[in-house]
Amino acid sequence: MAAYGVDATNDTFEHEVIEASKSTPVIVDFWAPWCGPCRVLKPILEKVAAEYDGKFKLVKVNSDENQEIAAAYGIRSIPDVMAFKDGKAVSHFLGAVPESQVRAFIDTLIPSPAEAERAAAAELLAAGDVAAAVEALQKAMNLDPANDPVRLDLAALLIELKRIDEAETVLEAVKPNIDIDARLATLQAALAFARAAGSASEAELKAKLAANPADHEIRFGLAGLYAGTKRFREALDELLEIVRCDRNWRDGEARKQIVAIFNLAENQSDLVSDYRRKLASALN
């Protein structure tokens, strides 16, 4: 992209703006040659675009010559500067605002260094490089120590890698926040299950349970071991057995852990649906 942006028309808008915004924020300047404020704003936008050096794409649309696009986006007064991300218009401002306001507007669209590292971690994880994803998230956390969503991402990977003590330390630093509390609770349950998986052998727990099938503590520990190794179906079977025998055991702890596993296995919709029905049956 040229430092000073590109022109778009009715025919090229889809490519230059909509498709481009799926990978990079796009700033569209709707202008016209007769517009005095447009002439004031134009060099400010171009200067900022040059300084940001590819962090966003600047596109200019002559609203007189491209009335179809202008009408589609409700352009009635110019200059109208519209931001696009992920193929959609997300915000805009009107008029020849000062450079400081232009920068503030653009900064809301560009990921912070920490968020950039978080995005890189997601790509690494999708490629199967878990170790590199952990490193990227640790870097993100160092860049922005207050970013608790990054902490949750990191804790999830540490649990996956059985680095239990590290995961616990990371989760302990997460502050209460209604937007992330549900995920925090799910990861805390996953952490507890992972600890249970390492506390005793499966063979040992099965032998004890065979000797005393009514020992709910042993059955609960076996369920934790299964859940800690993502054998959710087996874990749910053990917990359901406790519920069938004593739904109020330890103030309903078995039922609570079933719900925790539902959250952990949210991508296994058939499994969750099946065991929701079984839980409802056990409680009736």
pLDDT of 1: 40
Please calculate the CA angle 140-48-66 and round it to the nearest 5 degrees. 115
Q: Strand 57-62 vs strand 6-7: parallel, antiparallel, or unpaired?
A: parallel
Please state the CATH superfamily assignment of the domain spanning residues 113-175 in this structure: Tetratricopeptide repeat domain (1.25.40.10)
Contact 98, 43 (CB under 8 A): no
pLDDT of 3: 47
Query: Do 6-107 and 113-175 fold alike per CATH?
Result: no
Domain ranges of the chain: 6-107, 113-175, 198-283
* Dihedrals phi, psi of 55, to nearest 5 degrees: -70, -20
Which among 8, 38, 58, 157 is annotated as catalytic?
Answer: 38
- 151 token code pair: 């902490």
Q: What global pTM score does this model have?
A: 0.62
Our answer to whether residue 38 is catalytic in this structure is yes
The distance from CA 272 to its chain's CA centroid, rounded to whole angstroms, is 22
Question: Quick one: CATH architecture of 198-283?
Answer: Alpha Horseshoe (1.25)
pLDDT of 2: 45
pLDDT of 20: 92
**Neighbour-count burial for 132-170, b at 16+ CB within 10 Å, e otherwise:** ebbebbbbbbebbeebbbbbbbbbbbbbbeebbebbbeb
Which among 8, 26, 35, 235 is annotated as catalytic?
Answer: 35
pLDDT of 11: 93
Q: Over its length of 284 residues, how does the chain's per-residue pLDDT go in tens digits? A: 444 789 999 999 999 999 999 988 999 999 999 999 999 999 999 999 999 888 899 999 999 999 999 999 999 999 999 999 999 999 999 999 999 999 999 988 888 889 889 989 999 999 999 999 999 999 999 999 999 999 999 998 998 888 989 999 999 999 989 888 888 888 888 888 888 766 678 888 899 999 999 999 999 989 988 888 788 999 999 999 999 999 999 999 999 999 989 988 888 999 999 999 999 999 98
Would you tell me which CATH number, out of the four given (3.30.2350.10, 3.40.30.10, 3.65.10.10, 3.40.50.2020), belongs to the domain 6-107?
A: 3.40.30.10
* Residue recorded with tokens 């994803």: 133
- 170 token code pair: 């990371």
